[in-house]
Structure 1
Amino acid sequence: MDADAPFLRFWAAFRENRIALVALAVIVAIALLAVLAPLIAPQDPYDLGRLVLSDARRPPGHVGSGGYVHWLGTDAQGRDLFSAILYGLRISVLIGVAAGIVAFVIGATMGATAAFAGGRSEMLIMRFVDLQLSLPAILLALVLAAVLGQGRLQMIAALVAAQYAYFARTAHGAAATERAKDYVEAALSTPLPARTVLFRHILPNCLPPLIVVATVQVANAIALEATLSFLGVGLPVTEPSLGMLIANGFQYLLSGRYWISIYPGVALIILIVAINLVGDQVRDQLNPRLKR
């Protein structure tokens, strides 16, 4: 029970904020919809052979040639927008979480190692991180996505390269504080290997600020992926992400076919806002200075 006490206290404080609690419920619901998309969606938007052009640009509520109702209408390729949004959310959640985890591991390792090693190694690593932080993340991700090409792995690699520096800077600051504490000096005076002291003692104590950064960066990764797909350098056309769906309907906004862009845009906004609200609450709880 003692091991669960910190989590229970955290959860008790978290659920006091009803806005954050609703946001968390929205994230869980979106994650479930994304995972169960093949079972829920009436159409597979990736199967281009089954798309019917006569169903293209139909308004919400239209009964298509497949015999089912297109509750959110269809896009210019005849895709059922409800199905496309579910699959688009699946891609967004997958890429955002995957990029966040990989960037977390790489950045936290670099930042903590730099703080622990000190000297020239610290200076070299952190100057490289600072150089990358001086570049806009969207610009760096855009260049890398254009160079690497289209695909999920390429997109994740571009997002990781654009975001790991934020984790590295945060981990470096937290690890530098931990490095100066007595328990680290005591651990170093024993025969324990340096990597054990770093990864078993210092890095776990750096997790609270890194978790806060992770929630923000997952939301940023989702927004970056949508932006790159909107610009045409993200995922291929056979995998319609939310950004690509918005781009597909952009030219029809002034012709009255608003649903092609508006509904995917609303889904994207809801997901990003929900993650940010949860991230704000987590930040307030993990940082006593920010508690209201």
Structure 2
Amino acid sequence: MDTSTPLRRFLAEFLENRVAVAAAVVVVVILLLAMFAPLVAPQDPYDLSGLTLRDARRPPGFVGSTGIHHLLGTDAQGRDLLSAILYGLRISLEMGLAAGALAFVIGALLGTGAAYAGGRIESLIMRIVDLQLSFPAILLAFVLAALLGQGRGPLITALVAAQYAYFARTAHGSAAAERQKDYVEAALSIPLSAPRVVLRHILPNCLPPLIVVATVQVAAAVSLEATLSFLGVGLPPTEPSLGMLIANGFQYMLSGRYWISIYPGVALIILIVAINLVGDQLRDQLNPRLKR
């Protein structure tokens, strides 16, 4: 008889996939570096008093009078690129996690609420969700970000508006199946209030597929933020997000100063790929029918 807990079995199965474990380690390391960026970064890229144009566009591993400086080089403003990437990872993760969490809550409540209500309310909510899903997320986010202006608040609003429909569709599919089960009918016969039935009985059973969607959408939010910042409608130039760092160095690519754009781009790719690999493993474990 297997006496191990479901959590232990889940972790044991996760640890069997070396690729997923390596990706999880990368995600954790990036999270720690982002959290403690002020402590580990060689320079504060926000401190204008510490910047000088004499250090602008230094190559990687620049050797000065006191040894090697700027391991990854500097950008056009003279900021140490390693420091800017660490702070950029911090901003990108903050935006991705904030947008993903808000989209998760809004989409999950809309999807489960629609499945519980049924009838015209369900049809109206899901038609709106389906209409939004028919548009590319990047197009919707770009239009909203351009209308709302630059800044963290407007950008998070644009990202949430572009992503909540994925959670709503997933939550509705799971909640519609749960709504027909006996335990929900028993809860309704007591009777319990609608919010209590949705929050305590239906929504918890919809969490596994929503968790999988959340990992994918956090990576998508990071990618969307970088894209919007690169296009000039995301974060302002004073905040060195990864997308802004790539944009700042793009004009210098043809002159041979590749590091200004390449290194932030590599950091962005590593972050997105690692999150997606973890999400793939969670998908395989939480929904064995999709296991490859």
> Shorter-chain-normalised TM-score: which range?
over 0.9
Instruction: Give, as a single letter, the amino acid of the residue that structure 1 aligns with 2:275.
Output: I
TM-score (norm: length of structure 1):
0.96
1:151-190 per-residue CA deviation (whole Å, 9 max, x = no partner) reads: 1111111100100000000000000000011111111000
| Contact 2:61/2:68, CA 8 A, preserved across alignment | no
Q: Distance in 1 between matches of 2:55 and 2:70?
A: 9
For 2:108 and 2:275, the matched residues in 1 are separated by 21
- 5 Å-filtered alignment, 1:209-228, equals 209-228=209-228
- Shift, 1:50, TM fit: 2.4
- Letter paired with 2:12: A
Closer/same/farther in 2, CA of residues 72 and 128 from structure 1, 3 Å limit: same
Preserved CA contact (<8 Å) 1:100 1:221: yes
Per-residue Cα deviation, 1:253-281 (whole angstroms, up to 9, x for no partner): 12111100000000000000000000000
Q: Give the structure 2 partner of residue 70 of structure 1.
A: 70
Aligned ranges 1:4-83 → 2 under 5 Å: 5-63=5-63, 69-83=69-83
Output one character per residue of 1:202-250: Cα deviation in whole Å (capped at 9) or x when no partner.
0000001100100000000000000001001111111010001111111
Q: Distance in 1 between matches of 2:65 and 2:105?
A: 48
In 2, Cα distance between equivalents of 1:270 and 1:87: 16
The one-letter amino acid of 1:200's match is R
Deviation at 1:6, TM superposition (A): 1.8
Distance 1:263 1:163 in 2: 28
For structure 2, which runs of at least 5 residues remain unmatched after alignment?
none
How far apart are the structure 1 equivalents of 2:66 and 2:96?
A: 33
Change (3 A) 1:183 1:28: same
Alignment partners' CA distance in 2, 1:3 and 1:98: 38
SS at match of 1:157: helix
Q: How does 1:84-103 map to 2 (within 5 A)?
A: 84-103=84-103
Aligned partners of 2:115 and 2:175 also within 8 Å: yes
Identity %: 78
Q: Does 1:235 align with 2:225?
A: no
For residues 19-41 of structure 1, the C-alpha deviation after alignment (integer angstroms, 9 at most, x for no partner) is: 00000000000000000000011
> Match for residue 146 of structure 2?
146
Amino acid at match of 1:212: V
- 1:291 CA displacement: 2.8
**Structure 1 CA distance for aligned equivalents of residues 189 and 3 of structure 2:** 28
> Are 1:181 and 2:195 matched, yes or no?
no
Q: Which aligned segments of 4 or more residues in structure 1 are displaced greater than 4 angstroms?
A: 63-68
Aligned pairs, number: 291
Q: Is the 8 A contact 1:48 1:238 kept in 2?
A: no
TM-score with structure 2 length normalisation? 0.96
- The answer for the alignment partner of 1:171 in structure 2 is 171
Assess, with a 3 A threshold, how the Cα gap between structure 1 residues 197 and 50 changes in structure 2: closer, same or farther. Answer: same
Amino acid at match of 1:283: R
Structure 1 residues 60 and 285, CA gap change in structure 2 (3 angstroms): same
CA separation in 2, counterparts of 1:74 and 1:4? 52
Question: Cα distance 1:142–1:40, how it changes in 2: closer, same or farther (>3 A)?
Answer: same
For 2:157 and 2:76, how far apart are their aligned partners in 1?
A: 30
Residues in 1 aligned to 2:167 and 2:272: alpha-carbon distance in whole angstroms:
19
Which AA in structure 1 matches 2:208? P
Measured against aligned partners, the alpha-carbon deviations of 1:53-108 in whole angstroms (never above 9, x if no partner) come to 01000101114699871000000110100000000000011110111000000000
Look up the match of 1:128.
Answer: 128
The Cα RMSD (Å) is: 1.7
Q: Report SS of the residue matched to 1:70.
A: coil
Contact 1:45 1:84 (8 Å CA) reproduced? yes
Q: Which moved more, 1:41-50 or 1:206-215?
A: 41-50
Q: Does the Cα contact within 8 Å between 1:216 and 1:279 map onto a contact in 2?
A: yes
